[in-house]
Every structure is written in structure tokens, then in C-alpha cells.
A and B are shown apart, each in its own frame.
Chain A
Amino acid sequence: MKINNHLFSEVYGCYFTVVKRILEQAEGGLTQAEIESMVQADGFYDSAFHLLPKLFSGEWNLMEHRTDGKYYSRLLSNNLTRPMTDLERAWLKALLTDKRIQLFIDPEEAAALKEVLNEIPPLFLPSDFHFYDSAADGDSYEEKRYIDNFRLILKACESQTPLSILYESGKQNRTRRFVIPYKLNYSSRDDKFRLLGVTCQKGGHFKKITLNLTRILTVEPSADTYSENTEINSTKTFPVACAGALTETSANIKSPFPFYQFFRETKCKEPIVLEISKERNGLERCMLQFASWEKQTEYDEAHDCYVCRIYYDGQDETELLVRVLSFGPVVKVLGPTSFLTQIKERVRNQYRLNTWEEP
């Protein structure tokens, strides 16, 4: 079966999605303001300007304006979800060849899906790609303990159920932690999942935490642990909103837990400032390498170079340090002082090691 390669089709378009949502809700009539706010929420920034006149004027004959001032769908159905395209099905079929699919789907379920998607070829295969620099110690997705933990955590993220987690650190120290799970973070470079959550320390201090999934030994809903740990009930050091979200008598978390208190922007006060020379295609390499961070670049005409500011989370500092070093003299760190000091120390150490080695 040949797949239609139309990746760029209006069927997937933003306008079709917005209009679908409007029509599905317009059975009982929608005011102009309600429709405008739906376009504002789901459309592009300027879509209201282009889309609404066609919808309101009747040019598309999809809605009718009645005497009560509301707009009604001219369609009979209020479910306009289209069947999947072959391209979408081929993408889903490709997922079944990915080792990580076991985290979501049991082998029997995967077999049933393969049967349903029998006539569709997968859009791609793992063997089509060669990830030449991803980590050799990626997570073990086929391990039963890992799969069970992953699913428990994923479910707990949805219900915001506090978890009792037995964790083994890099130095093989085992500790039990009380964690309110927030989200799962995946790094393609490391091929690892990490749990982002909020943990309670002694004295009732709550702080955000990142745990490698592969180092999680056991996961349980935390009711028992919580009742045993009276310190967790202490609210004196909670952020105000957080304290309000925890009940005094049980481990249940009132929804929604104010994760924003812990996971809002935590950028360092000062960005890393790099001076990038034009040598060895440094600019392009740099721009690509740091593309996943928030950054700002400008051309410095006086020095004929580029200055790039990278806004980063403190957790990423060592990684950024190593990445900057990989550029050698093509990139010069201008600040901040603490970062610059670390770079200087590494360069000084290296020079000392090699002074007798100069060619």
C-alpha cells in the first residue's frame, strides 16, 4: 500500500481544527464573542482577522446567524472528528517498532494494533536512523521493573497522587522519598527518562526534585509513608499556595497542586555571554548546538564577531560548560564571572598538563 506523502495538507490545518471545534459546540448557538475567543485560543495570532469574516458572512455556509444574535452550526452532527489519514496510521505503525512503546502498550495490545494496522507500512523504521552520538547507557525499556515503575508514575502524574519512592543514588545510597509527581522528562541525547516532582524534606521543606527513572527501585502510592511522616504535615515552610493544596489529614493532594510554584522559570540571573568568531563555521555550529536553549544573538560590527546570550537553568551549567569547551578558541566566554572562572580553570589546567607537549 502506498502512503500519500501529503504532509502539508489543509486537512491538518489550524483553520480546520478551529472551525471543527466551533461547529462542534455551536449546536445550541454561540455568540460572536464566544467564537472570537475560541479563535483566539486555538488559532494563530492573527487568525481572527482572516477567518472570522468568512465564517460570519456566510461565505463558507457552515453557520447561520439567527434572530437571537447567536451563530448556529448548519451541520447535523456535533462530532466532526475525521477518520485518521493513512499517513497518521503509518506514523502510529512506526511507533510499534520503537523499543519505548512497551512503556505504554503491552505486547498483546501491540499485537492487536498491528493486526488493525495490517495493511499500512510503518512510516519509518528504527534502522532508518543512526544516532551517532547518543549515550550508550540509555534506560532499559524492556525491563519489567522499569516498565511497571514508569506506568505507575505516569498514572500518578495524571492524578497527582503522592508517591513513596525508593531511590538509589549514583553512589549506591538508597533513600526513601515522598514525591508529588509533576511530569516525565525525556532526553534524546541521554536516552533517559527523569521524573520531575516536588519532594518533602525534613522540617517540611518542599522543593523540586529530578529523579532518574532507571535509579528508582520501587514506587508505591504514599498513603502509608505519608501518615508515618508527620513532618510532611508541617506547613510552616510551605509556599502559601502549596500549603493550601495539602490536606492536613491525608496524603491526598487537592487538585490542582501548585506546581507552578516550583517549576516556573528558574533561569540564572545572568545569561552566559559568548563571543563567536567566524572561524571554522563557528557561528552556525554554535547556533545549532545551542538551539534548544533560549538565546539571543547579535553581530558585533566593531569586532567582526557575534555575541550570543544563552539563558539557562542552573542545572544545565556543567553541560553548557562542556559544550562551550568543545568549540575551542572559536568561542570565547565573556561572562558571567562564575562561568568564566570555571572555563579559565579548565584551560589553565590543560595548559599546565601540556606545556612540555607543544609542537
Chain B
Amino acid sequence: MGEYHELIRNFDKIRDYMRDFYIYGFKSRSDFTRKSARTYDNEKRRIESYMGEYMKWEYTKTGKNLFISMDCARLPLNPLYAAWKSKTFTGNDIMLHFYLLDILGKDSRLSIENLTDLICSRSGQVFDPQTVRNKCKEYADLGIIKAEKQKKALLYSLSDNTFNQLLQSAPGLGEAVKFFQGSVAFGEIGSFIMDNQRLENDRFTFKHYYAAHTLEDGILLDLLSAIRNSCAIEFVNVNESGTRVSTFNGIPVKVFVSAATGRRYLCLYKTKEKRFFNYRLDHIKEVSLKDFCETAGQHQTDLENNLDRVFGVSFGGQNRKEIVCMKLYVNEKTDGFILDRLIREGQGGEVLRLEKNTYLYTKEVFDSNDMSPWIKTFTGRIIQLEGTNQTVINRFYKDIKRMKEMYED
């Protein structure tokens, strides 16, 4: 049985547990069946340590429930970024890190032999030149160190790519990092910069912020790399209950994001089916890049040409052209905000004034199912709902009837 360590080697190990504790928050020890109870205990202990005050617990009939709870609108920084800062390392890693920064920091350009000698004398510990060379190569790959050839020797120095250098060109960059760490993809990278520069976000808060996105950013990075290089991919997809594991392949085209519900999807062109599909990012486990795809650009264009008919993430079934018409009662004196909402959220659907206080919203989409949740947000005002997909229309009326029964006094 392994000893418990606070830090981890593999990010995937913590990704699922953290998501479960955060998104669901009602699972007790017995509900975590993926791995052994001991694994659960270790992951729980780690997450408690990373999350600190945001980790809460309560006793329920099924046992003690641990969960991550936070009001995102009050957070200066996403606490789940901590997961990205938990990578384990060896004693040599941390020693070499600081001695390299120390020794190479004074405009030094040193050969591996000189560098090794200095590290050994200053730290009082013997390092093999090959160990130091490997670390230098690793840091050169990361961009921290540069290696320049002088005659036959490679000379190492610190990269001059510092944040302060960029600040000289653009003094507002520090504030920009504070903002963008909470408002664009890969916010954790902004947080890395802030840690290194000792910046704190004391200016911005974020509403409709979905903290769990950060847990998918490793997958997102692979997907964007494939999109950028026009590569086909193969990936492992696990369904929500974790009971079905499938492998899919195709050409990644775009990432769909819901700003309202906090979901992110990979939009994939599947060559065999000759059509687009969306897959939830949090269900994707592994991505491998395959061959260069010559037609990637064409799929991008095809998708762009069809985006206005995708209301959510569905490209529909057999019937690829559906129309939804919603007639609404809008009191023009008091409910102007409803019209604003129709325009703001209606994704370009046509809004017509039929008569005083009566408006008609019409939209053509691939799949009217996608519109159902949004349509229901107008509950209480829908005079009539019509459309070419009668199943969706019928379900709406049935739902209203069920809700009436549900809330009957």
C-alpha cells in the first residue's frame, strides 16, 4: 500500500473526483465506486487540502457527504486552479529549479560543466552533469532557459522573456491578466503568471462563471492543437454514469460553449457519417492526434455556414429543417424587457408585432428540441406554440399540464 502524498503525478487522477465533489456534491463514500475506498479517502484528503474553506460536509441519511461549495460571483480566483498546481516533483527538481534561476539570473551564459560546478559548490550537493543537462533541456523546451551554441559548446542562460519586459511595452497588461484569468479559456495559465508575479485580482468579479471548466483544459489544449494543425483525432468518451466507454474519431472543428449553462462541447466532423456531432468536453478522457486532414478547412467553412441554424448543440436527425413559432403576450407598457430578451437571446429569430401586446417569434433550426428549455423560460406568456416538429410542441403542452398538476394547491 502506497504512502499518501499531497501532490500527484497524473492530473486525470484528481479531475473526476474534483468534478464530482464540485458539480454533484451529494455523493457519499459508498457512491464512489470507480476505485477502491482507499483511493477515495486519499483523493478526498487531497481535495480537502487543495480547496480549504470551500470544502464543506454534512451528514445525510446515506452518510457523510463532502462537497465543494462556493458562490462564484464572489471569487477573485477560481479555487479549482489549485488542481493544476499540485504536480509532484523530486528533490532534484526543486533544487535545480532554484539554483538554475539563481546562478543564471546574473546575465550568465554557462556551459553545462561550469553550471554543474557552481550548483554543486553552492548547494553542497553533488550533481551529475547529465542530470543538470536534462533539466536544462526540459527548461529550454518550456521556454525558461535558452541554449546557444558557441563554437563547440552549448551555453545556457535564462530566457529574457519576462513579464516585466512586456509590461514596459504595455503597462495595462497586469490588469488585463487579472481580468482574463476569469474570462477566457485556460484561466489557470493567467493564474500561473499571477503567482509568479505576485499579482492579486482585487479588481474583478465574475458572474455566470463556471469553475469546473478548468478541469477540462488539458483535453481542450489537445483539441485546439489538433484544430490548429488540421489533424484528425481519436478520443475516448465516457458516458455520465461511467458505464460506457467508446472510442470516436473524426476531424475537430470548433469548441461550442454555453455561456448560460456552463457546458463545453467538441464539434467534430465524422467522416463516415459525413456530418457534425458535438461531444461534451467533460466526457472526453484521452485525445490522440492522427494524420493531417486536407479537408479540415472545408469543414470549418461548412460549419460556419450552418451555425445560424444550430440553436444549441444539436445538428438534428433526419429532418434537418425545423421551424418554431412562438406567439407571446407582452404588455408593452410594463414588459419591454421581454422583447429585449427575445432579441438578446433569440439567436437572430424574427420578432414580429402582430397587434398590441402580441408578438410572434419565428426561428428556423436543425433541431427544435434544442430550443425547448429556452422556450419554457417564457412560461406564463406563451399564447401559442407551433412548429414542424410536433413531438416537441406536444411535449411543451404536456409539460405545462404536468406543471399545473404539480403545483396545484
Is A92 an interface position by the 8 A CB rule? yes
CB neighbours (8 Å) of A14 from chain B are 82, 85-86
Partner of B94 from the list A16, A82, A106 (CB cut-off 8 Å) is A16
> How many chain B residues touch the partner (CB < 8 A)?
155
- A217 in contact (CB, < 8 A): no
Contact B143 A15 (CB under 8 A): no
Determine how close the nearest CB of chain B comes to the CB of A144; give it in whole angstroms: 16
Give CA–CA (A136, B346) in the complex, Å.
8
Interface centre among A45, A157, A187, A295 (most CB of B within 10 A): A45
Chain A contacts for B102, CB-based, 8 A: 75-77, 80
Residue in B7, B172, B228, B262 whose CB lies within 8 Å of A15: B7
**Is A291 in contact with B210, judged by CB distance below 8 angstroms?**
yes
Closest to A87 in B: B189
**Are the C-beta atoms of B400 and A351 separated by less than 8 Å?**
yes
* B222 at interface by CB-CB < 8 Å: yes
The reply on B258 being an interface residue by CB < 8 A is yes
With beta carbons under 8 angstroms apart, the residue of B69, B158, B204, B340 that contacts A183 is B204
Q: Which residues of B contact A158 (CB under 8 A)?
A: 203
Q: Is A350 an interface residue, CB under 8 A from the partner? A: yes
Is B312 in the interface zone, CB < 8 Å from A? yes
Query: Is B125 within 8 A of A61, CB to CB?
Result: yes
Are B97 and A285 in contact, with the CB atoms below 8 A? no
The tally of residues in A whose CB lies under 8 Å from a CB in B reads: 135
User: Residue B227 at the A interface, CB < 8 A?
Assistant: yes
Q: Could you tell me the dominant secondary structure of chain A's interface residues? A: mixed
* CB-based contact A83/B400 at 8 Å: no
- Residue B16, interface by CB 8 Å: no
User: In the complex where A83-B144, A292-B262 touch, is A113 in contact with B169 (Cβ < 8 A)?
Assistant: yes
> Would you give the shortest CB distance from A265 to chain B, in whole angstroms?
8
Closest to A61 in B: B123
Q: Does B141 contact A (CB under 8 A)?
A: yes
Q: Is there an interface contact between A7 and B217, defined as CB atoms closer than 8 Å? A: yes
Complex Cα gap A194–B207 (Å): 10
Contact call B91/A104, Cβ cutoff below 8 A:
no
Would you call B261 and A311 a contact (CB within 8 A)?
no
Whether B163 sits at the interface, judged by CB under 8 Å, is: yes
Q: Do residues B61 and A301 form an inter-chain contact, with CB atoms below 8 A?
A: yes
A128 near B209 with CB under 8 A, answer no
Asked whether B25 lies within 8 Å of A296 as measured between CB atoms, the reply is: yes
Q: Judging by beta carbons under 8 Å apart, are B209 and A188 in contact?
A: yes
Q: Is the CB of B98 within 8 A of A19?
A: yes
- Using known A-B contacts A85-B142, A132-B310, determine if residue A297 contacts B26 with beta carbons closer than 8 Å: yes
How far does the Cβ of A178 sit from chain B's closest Cβ, in whole Å?
21
B263 lies within 8 A of A91 (CB):
no
Contacts of A154 in B (CB 8 A): 175, 203
CB within 8 A of B6: which of A46, A92, A104? A46
A130 touches B94 (CB 8 A): no
CB distance from A204 to the nearest CB of B (A): 27
Query: B403 contacts the other chain (Cβ, under 8 Å)?
Result: yes
Residues of B within 8 A of A86 (CB): 142-143
A344 interfacial by beta-carbon distance below 8 Å: yes
Q: How far is the CB of B90 from chain A (nearest CB, A)?
A: 9
Residues of A55-96 contacting chain B, CB below 8 A: 59-62, 74-77, 79-89, 91-92, 94-95
Residues in chain A near residue B320, CB distance under 8 A? none
How far does the Cβ of B264 sit from chain A's closest Cβ, in whole Å?
A: 9
* A window 330-359: CB within 8 A of B: 332, 340, 343-351, 353-354, 357-359
Given contacts A136-B343, A186-B207, A289-B261, contact A16 B97 (CB under 8 A): yes
One of A19, A115, A292, A327 near B373 (C-beta < 8 A): A327
Question: What distance in Å separates the Cβ of A335 from its nearest Cβ neighbour in chain B?
Answer: 12
Q: Which residue of B lies closest to A50 (CB)?
A: B6
CB contact under 8 A between A54 and B91, given known A326-B376, A329-B402: yes
In chain A, positions 246-282 with a C-beta closer than 8 Å to chain B are: 265, 267, 281
* CB neighbours of A7 from chain B (8 A): 84, 186, 188-189, 217-218, 221
**Which B residues, 165 to 188, have Cβ-Cβ distances below 8 Å to chain A?**
165-166, 169-173, 175-177, 179-180, 182-186, 188
B172 surroundings in chain A (CB, below 8 A): 104-105, 109
- B143: A residues at CB distance < 8 A: 4, 83-87, 89
Complex-state Cα separation, A225 to B384, whole angstroms: 53
Q: Is the CB of B402 within 8 A of A291?
A: no
A98 at the binding interface (Cβ < 8 Å): yes
- Known contacts A17-B85, A92-B166; A185/B73 CB under 8 A: yes
Q: In this assembly, does B22 line the interface, its C-beta being within 8 Å of a C-beta of chain A? A: yes
Contact A87 B142 (CB under 8 A): yes
A89 touches B377 (CB 8 A): no
Does B23 reach chain A (CB closer than 8 Å)? Answer: yes
Across the interface, name the chain A residue whose C-beta is closest to B228: A121
A287: interface (CB < 8 Å): yes
> Could you say which of B203, B267, B382 contacts A157, with CB atoms under 8 Å apart?
B203
Contact (Cβ within 8 A) B262 A130:
no
Chain A neighbourhood of B202, CB < 8 A: 183
A83 touching B166 by the CB < 8 A rule? no
Counting CB contacts under 8 A, is A101 at the interface?
yes
In contact, B205 and A196 (Cβ under 8 angstroms): yes
List A residues 155-176 near B (Cβ within 8 Å).
157-158, 170
B381 at the interface (CB under 8 A from A): yes
Q: How far is the CB of A253 from chain B (nearest CB, A)?
A: 16
Cβ–Cβ < 8 Å partners of A128 in chain B: 224, 227, 254-255
- The 8 A CB mask of B200-215 against A (1 = contact, 0 = none) is 0011111111111000
Q: Are B261 and A288 in contact (CB under 8 A)?
A: yes
Complex partner residue of B98 from A75, A83, A88, A188, CB under 8 angstroms = A75
Residue-wise, chain B 333-346 has the 8 Å CB interface mask toward A (1 for contact) of: 00001001001111
- In the complex, A196→B376 CA distance in Å? 31
A133 at the interface (CB under 8 A from B): yes
Instruction: State in angstroms the CA–CA spacing of A345 and B409 once bound together.
Output: 12
**Inter-chain contact B401/A62, CB cutoff 8 Å:** no
- Nearest CB in chain B: distance from A199 CB, A: 18
Given contacts A7-B218, A81-B162, contact A133 B312 (CB under 8 A): yes
A190 touches B93 (CB 8 A): no
Question: In the docked arrangement, what's the CA distance between A357 and B61, Å?
Answer: 44
Instruction: Verify if B130 is at the interface (C-beta below 8 Å from A).
Output: no
Question: What are 8 A-B residue pairs whose CB atoms fall within 8 Å in the complex?
Answer: A44-B50, A50-B6, A75-B98, A82-B97, A113-B173, A287-B23, A292-B73, A294-B69
Among all A-B residue pairs, the 9 with the closest Cβ atoms? A86-B143, A346-B380, A104-B172, A10-B89, A109-B170, A104-B176, A189-B208, A112-B169, A329-B402
Given contacts A15-B7, A89-B161, A297-B25, 16 further A-B contacts (CB under 8 A): A7-B84, A7-B188, A16-B94, A75-B102, A83-B144, A88-B192, A130-B307, A136-B345, A137-B344, A184-B204, A187-B207, A188-B209, A265-B74, A296-B58, A350-B381, A353-B329
